[in-house]
Structure 1
Amino acid sequence: MAVENMTWRNNVWLVWFYIVFPITVLIDLQEVIYPSSLFVPTDAPLHFAYKAKQDYIAKYNDPVVQWSPETASGHDSWMGLFMHLEFFFLLPIMIYAMYKMGIRQKSTSGPDELLFFVYALYNAFTTVICIYDSFYWDKTIWADESQLWTLRSVYYAPFVFIPLLGAFDMGSRILSRFKAADAAAEAKKAE
């Protein structure tokens, strides 16, 4: 029988997923999920998401958010991989987590904790790559260093530090399971 872990931290995770899910499906994966007819025309049902993305691009000129296969031309080709992983790996994990912890209100099992641990590390790692890449952006475009600092600290940094806290949480849960299994094995050996 699987031992499940119910803690208030599951609610923190759930809040994270509820915040990140709409950003993922409406902004990050806009061009991947939806045909342009659903978001580009001003009367389109998802035009508000398109406008939000365009406003962000106009303000910060963020090449990561502007990336598309058409604009890549050999530069930042890793973004295509990130987009596919976001669609095929992160999005299903978010849906699963919101279903399990939100709708079914179930606690986490060992496999869940390992999955969320990997999810959190992946989020932090890919965002660190984006921050690192920002140090090599064209200085003629990014003359305003304060704007670049805002982009890194306000928009990117939370997607490093919050997932790292989540990875620490899930890692500590997994470690507790190992310790409990070791203690049970020692107790059985002592019999």
Structure 2
Amino acid sequence: MPSVFDEFDSISPKRGHDNTGVTDRVVNQFLTELDGVEVLTGVFVFATTSRPDLLDAVLLRPGRLDRLLFCDFPSQHERSETLSVLSRKLPLASDVDLDGVARLTEGFSGADLQALLSDAQLEAVHDLLDSENVGKHDKKPVIADALLKSIASKAKRSVSDAEKQRLYNIYSQFLDSKRSVAAQSRDAKGKRATLA
């Protein structure tokens, strides 16, 4: 049974940083649940964050949340696949080239792509209402390739290059600190291990 926590840094930040002690109690309770005396067979805990540096380090020790997975911004191929999945139930014209849209959306996140498709759908509705076919009830809005590419070419991604680099630096520093803690722990025990 999976348990998923999104924006985990908001509920489990480093302890000792607030005056009320509420944060400390939340983190301590979470640790109690993770380390509880009852064996949690078949329970998997997944936590997502864009700021791993804000997490309390004790949560990241072996046996707790001890595996890291970096999810980068989607590549062109991944954006094309994401657009395909997100547009599955949308009224796309037969000529829509999602690969072409993916080429226009370098640096876009999945949420940015969803917003782009929503904007295109709304624009298709407006185009239909503005046309002379308003009286025809059987006519439905359709997202044409030209419309989708026009909106994609004007759309702005939500994360700038500077912000993206800042996030990469945070993650890199976080990984370096994890390696440093692991090396210190390994050295203290007098054992060496190779991680693949």
Per the TM superposition, whether the score is higher than 0.5 is no
Higher strand share: 2
Structure number with higher relative contact order (C-alpha < 8 Å, ≥ 6 residues apart): 1
Higher alpha-carbon Rg? 2
Higher helix share: 1
